[in-house]
Structure 1
């Protein structure tokens, strides 16, 4: 069994499940499926695909990603950002909705999955370490606001086109405030109010599912008042059909390859950010490499079952966490429920009012915001809080994937700024200047240490190097030059308590120009 775990990772947790946890995951999966059905249809239309392809993307890819992934709560599927990027990449090559267009989308999905799988096999999961917790908090906060703003037109009964950023969505809403439909607003607010009441009164109950059912029954029994409120679009139910791909067309593959890399990276960054965010809340340690491999495998397999490229979904993953999912089986059950509804429940799903769906998504968005962690971050580190705020602002002003990159760059900027000025304590011991350096000497910190060395008064300088863990060529070259400068004035540069790896790096230049630095234990 242990030998099979790397190939079949679900064998590590599946035998430990109890009947109680499976029943809980079954209910959570049902709520997730009801949420996924209208979302998946809408995202497929954004991608220029027939509506049923959104359902296909919420079945097989979700099964594979949940069983082969490492996160307890990450649920994948079609997303707005991925759908928009796919449409922009393929629409110049074929007519949206045509058979050729569908083939290109699925081929692009397969190539994106191959790229993701290769990154996972090469163990590029360490890249997720560059997404700091402050970036994840800011991205989660901003994404919750973006998703909520995107659902307000549905809540208010408006028919507005999707916008790329939250700012444009807010401007569009403000310009059409007179078009609010009161019955739609009533259904949406009722769903939100019932969901909040149930979460406070009976936290263990499936609040979202019950609120949707109750509001849908009210809308169905009062057709005179709610009959005009839009419902989830009807669709023809069937299981995902097999879709062979034109893999031998090398010219087409090369043409789609840049888009596949871009959309593959977008999917990974989004999925890992969501997984990191939820794992911090659930105190779970995720395996980033395994998660990357699962994402790639899910898209490769899903492409053969008519599922276009998927990634982590904020709303569905947030629902899984908030509803109390016990294992990845919640995502597996969600995919199976979607498959069941796709075949036999199309008529029932068509009775769900879209404003009620919007109200349930607003409830999920509220649960995504980790208010305690944000307050703690403000008390502990103002610099990290600034990164969080910058990421959240970028999420509101820019596209989601761009906001993640902006947050990562901001984290790296503050990290480099902090490490480029290591803590240095200056003291005098018998007419000898002693500098205690508390940090590594690399290209970013070499100039700062050089300035402090040249500010020393005496010719004899000692560097207490016990806290220096790393030194690169820039640091080696700088110390050699400073040691020779001190030698010319009759002094010396001595490193006290240097680690073996630091001393070795400094002595590598000895064969070329001699090592002018002295070493003390």
Structure 2
């Protein structure tokens, strides 16, 4: 077994020495833009996850550094995300009080477990495994998660102090029960922030619109205490770098968290690789999926010990990195360093942000999460995949979120197996020959369908045009041998024409194949 070289152990050594003063300066400015975008998002996502606001900043520092240095994408930037935050909240809130030290410890422990799962997938070179979570599942889950998050933030927008609910339906019912208790000052401040943020995003989309909207609303609340003095503010914290967080070793708790860790780990990988692939297609970069999976796992393993909860690829920050002209992953490294400076010196400013304004910014993020164009395209291209997306979305609204991911994956696999169980078959008659051209694999799911088609033919000679058959398993081999013997008993024959060598080899492996009347033609 070859020994790993230093570029395998430290992949950043392959690109870091090639940086110039100009490229480093460019990446530093791109990183500053990404940090400005990350500040309000990270704080908002931490609140969604039921964590104190500083943990959103922590998750945008160490995990981002590790993922950028050990990953393979030039433009992928990780950090806390809305979808993962809501899954973490749904998974851990039944086990501890959100915001408590026990809750924080469990979130970080789940992050560590998910990181180990991701890293093992990368080490075993199972990067392609994330392809089993189809794009339609991600679309449906994101749409459902956006609704869940939005409903969960409406009490904050309305100035209501309601306990968080595990499902969208329960959140909606709780809002209806307290419909007459809205705080008008909170509502006015929240809607104003929502309107200003939406207007800025429409008119100047490249600006840090969320940060500007939050700053304006905080200024208004500070200047008009008679109107907004009673409105709740985001909890303040002591400015410091991410602290070391020792994780407990509790086997029972590890086993309870493991299913959620696998679900959220897969979700993070699918999100990250989808973003990385879409950007690499535009930048003409060749990605190493297994290296990216290992980097994601390593970032969450290390991040869990440094107060960074589970991170994944960020659509907005990665897109900004690409559009702003980042020259290397160094832009993500600079982004993490800028966030670290803010966590150290700018923490006191967070205490001035009104909770309704933060809720409004989260609602804007939720709207941006929904891929309207992708949903419309999915409806036009594939109704089956659109059904998978819809089922995943409904499951997200009705079930626990990690269960919804599994439900979406199962629905996607069902439609895939249904489609592959009926391979493309063209049939025609040529004299005394019945000819079938089979396009697709002959495996256990498709062998019965093909057997029924063969048994419906009446020609003296049955020919299968097999040049498009790429794979055949034991069930397919046994079925073809069985049909060859059946036709021979009727005074007819079965022939495979232009079969691929690997298919012929599999057919000849079956016991008794030498005596089987199955014919081959070139």
1:82 Cα deviation after fit: 2.1
Q: Aligned pair 1:7/2:9, yes or no?
A: yes
- State the partner residue of 2:40: 34
- State the partner residue of 1:413: 414
- State the partner residue of 1:170: 172
Correspondence 1:55-204 to 2 at 5 A? 56-70=58-72, 72-77=75-80, 79-86=85-92, 88=94, 97=101, 109-204=111-206
Mean Cα deviation higher: 332-341 or 365-374: 332-341
Correspondence 1:324-403 to 2 at 5 A? 327=326, 331-403=332-404
Distance 1:403 1:359 in 2: 26
Asked if 2 retains the 8 angstrom alpha-carbon contact of 1:28 and 1:206, the reply is: no
- State the partner residue of 2:444: 443
Residue deviations 1:78-113 (CA, integer Å, cap 9, x gap): 823224434556x59xx9636xx8777656654543
Distance 2:458 2:291 in 1: 55
Q: Aligned pair 1:519/2:516, yes or no?
A: no
Mean Cα deviation higher: 191-200 or 256-265: 256-265
- State the partner residue of 1:249: none
1:4 Cα deviation after fit: 4.2
Q: 1:187 to 1:276 in 2, by over 3 A?
A: farther
Asked if 2 retains the 8 angstrom alpha-carbon contact of 1:270 and 1:311, the reply is: no
Asked if 1 retains the 8 angstrom alpha-carbon contact of 2:166 and 2:400, the reply is: yes
Asked if 2 retains the 8 angstrom alpha-carbon contact of 1:319 and 1:364, the reply is: no
1:349 Cα deviation after fit: 0.9
Q: 1:38 to 1:427 in 2, by over 3 A?
A: closer
Asked if 2 retains the 8 angstrom alpha-carbon contact of 1:43 and 1:54, the reply is: no
TM-score (norm 2): 0.86
Q: 1:448 to 1:244 in 2, by over 3 A?
A: closer
1:158 Cα deviation after fit: 1.7
Asked if 2 retains the 8 angstrom alpha-carbon contact of 1:25 and 1:325, the reply is: no
Distance 1:341 1:398 in 2: 38
Residue deviations 1:51-85 (CA, integer Å, cap 9, x gap): 76665444323332343334534523382322443
Q: 1:225 to 1:333 in 2, by over 3 A?
A: farther
Mean Cα deviation higher: 461-470 or 106-115: 106-115
Asked if 1 retains the 8 angstrom alpha-carbon contact of 2:86 and 2:145, the reply is: no
Q: 1:424 to 1:35 in 2, by over 3 A?
A: closer
TM-score (norm 1): 0.86
Asked if 1 retains the 8 angstrom alpha-carbon contact of 2:118 and 2:266, the reply is: no
Residue deviations 1:437-494 (CA, integer Å, cap 9, x gap): 1221111111111111111113321111111111110010011011001111111110
Structure 2 residue matching 1:204: 3-state secondary structure: coil
The runs of 5 or more residues in structure 1 that have no matched partner are 247-251
Q: 1:245 to 1:281 in 2, by over 3 A?
A: closer
Distance 1:207 1:110 in 2: 33
- State the partner residue of 2:259: 262
- State the partner residue of 1:498: 499
Q: 1:494 to 1:125 in 2, by over 3 A?
A: same
Residue deviations 1:373-426 (CA, integer Å, cap 9, x gap): 222221222112211222222222223222222222111111111111112222
Q: 1:309 to 1:263 in 2, by over 3 A?
A: farther
Correspondence 1:229-240 to 2 at 5 A? 229-240=231-242
Mean Cα deviation higher: 122-131 or 62-71: 62-71
Distance 2:48 2:459 in 1: 73
The runs of 5 or more residues in structure 2 that have no matched partner are none
Distance 1:432 1:87 in 2: 67
Asked if 1 retains the 8 angstrom alpha-carbon contact of 2:277 and 2:287, the reply is: no
1:199 Cα deviation after fit: 2.5
Q: 1:104 to 1:207 in 2, by over 3 A?
A: closer
